[in-house]
Amino acid sequence: MKVAIQGIPGSFHHQVALLNFGKEAQVLPFMSFEEVAKSVASGAADVGIMAIENSIAGAILPNYDLIDRYDLVIHEEYYLHISHQLMALPGQTIAELTEVRSHPMALLQCKAFLSNHPQIQLIDDLDTASVAKRIQEEKLRGVAAIASEIAAETYGLEILAPQIQTVKDNFTRFIFLTKEKSNRSEAANKVSFKITIRNEAGGLAKLLTMLADKNLNLSKIQSIPVMDTPWDYAFFIDAEFAAEQSYQEAVEQMKQRFGELKIFGEYTSRKG
């Protein structure tokens, strides 16, 4: 199994790959989400792992566009509890630190803890795990990273303070992407789709009313303008359904009454 991820070993994407596909999977690291999408679309990877939203920061909207442009299929979803650790080369204390480097979002999510150590300079970096790797390779003393527990294990760093994120219930939703559509599981109760609403008064309101009447529970809706048609909007929607017949009726009505429909995937909701 070839699994494409964004980031390097020790990243949260790498953690999701290990948890779901095991150490025997061949992990293909890429620096951008678009490279992940390309690798799946070309067949270089069997599956791609992509973060799609965070419980604090919200949706990663550009990734929906990648799924659409590369005609990828959402095969599964996975929720990872995000736990940030403060780590450095072994034998140091927090009092000896002069810098903490990490992704800007990780620094923001640990703001309360970091405010208790005003002597430490906060420096934005491209990735959480890459900072840990650089500290190990360059033997940077006085410099700490904020990254995952697996990053500390991968690069031989010591965790000086565990779970320093301000909000303890911090989750990121990841999706598993494939090139081809597989047989749908009987347990499937969630759908991700894009619908382009015609430019008419009350179009979105009518759509949402219809979905509610069919007992589809919307967990997320994001809008983007349609580039080729001014004032038309496409909506990326995630919805859960309980009754198969009502869901299929909703699909038919969307096709007939509301505009262009593209289903990205039908799968099982993993939200606990």
Q: What is the pLDDT of residue 154?
A: 95
Above 70 in pLDDT, residue 20? yes
Tell me the mean pLDDT in the region 53-82: 91
Residue 50: other Cβ atoms inside 10 A: 25
Note the helical H segments in 53-148. Answer: 61-69, 104-109, 111-115, 128-138
151 close to 36: Cβ distance less than 8 angstroms = no
Q: How far apart are CA 258 and CA 210, in angstroms?
A: 10
DSSP 8-state assignment for residue 96: G
State the pLDDT confidence band at 223, using cuts at 50, 70 and 90: confident
Q: Note the pLDDT of residue 272.
A: 66
Any idea what the Cα angle at residue 159 is, between residues 156 and 164, rounded to 5°? 140
Residues 6+ apart with CB under 8 A from 196: 226, 232, 233, 234, 235, 259, 260
Per residue in 103-159, pLDDT (tens digit) is 888 999 999 999 999 999 999 998 899 999 999 999 999 999 999 999 999 999 999
At residue 208, the pLDDT reads: 95
Contacts of residue 121, defined as CB under 8 A and 6 or more positions apart, other chains included, come to 98, 99, 100
Which H or E element spans position 14? Answer: helix 12-21
For position 248, what pLDDT does the model report?
A: 96
pLDDT at 181: 87
Helix (H/G/I), strand (E/B), else coil: 190: strand
How confident is the model at residue 37, as a pLDDT? Answer: 98
- Look at 26-30, 129-133, 149-153, 194-198 and tell me which has the smallest mean pLDDT: 194-198
Across residues 191-216, what is the average pLDDT? 90
In this structure, which amino acid lies at residue 226?
A: V
3-state secondary structure of 248: helix
Which regions of the chain carry the CATH code 3.40.190.10? Answer: 2-82+170-177, 85-161
Rounded average pLDDT over 17-41: 96
Q: What's the pLDDT at 203? A: 85
Q: 2-82+170-177 has which fold?
A: D-Maltodextrin-Binding Protein; domain 2 (3.40.190)
- Which residues in the chain are classed under CATH 3.30.70.260? 190-267
Choosing among 3.40.190.10, 3.40.50.1110, 3.90.245.10, 3.40.50.300, the CATH entry for 85-161 is 3.40.190.10
CA distances, 231 to each of 105, 198, 235 (Å): 33, 9, 13
**With bands split at pLDDT 50, 70 and 90, how would you rate the model's confidence at 229?**
confident
Q: What is the pLDDT of residue 102?
A: 96
* Structure confidence at residue 84 (pLDDT): 96
The whole-number average pLDDT for the span 215-235 is 85
* Element housing 120 (H / E): none
What distance in Å separates the CA atoms of residue 259 and residue 261, rounded to the nearest whole number?
6
Minimal CA–CA distance to 251: which of 204, 211, 198, 203?
A: 211
In CATH terms, the superfamily for domain 190-267 is ACT domain (3.30.70.260)
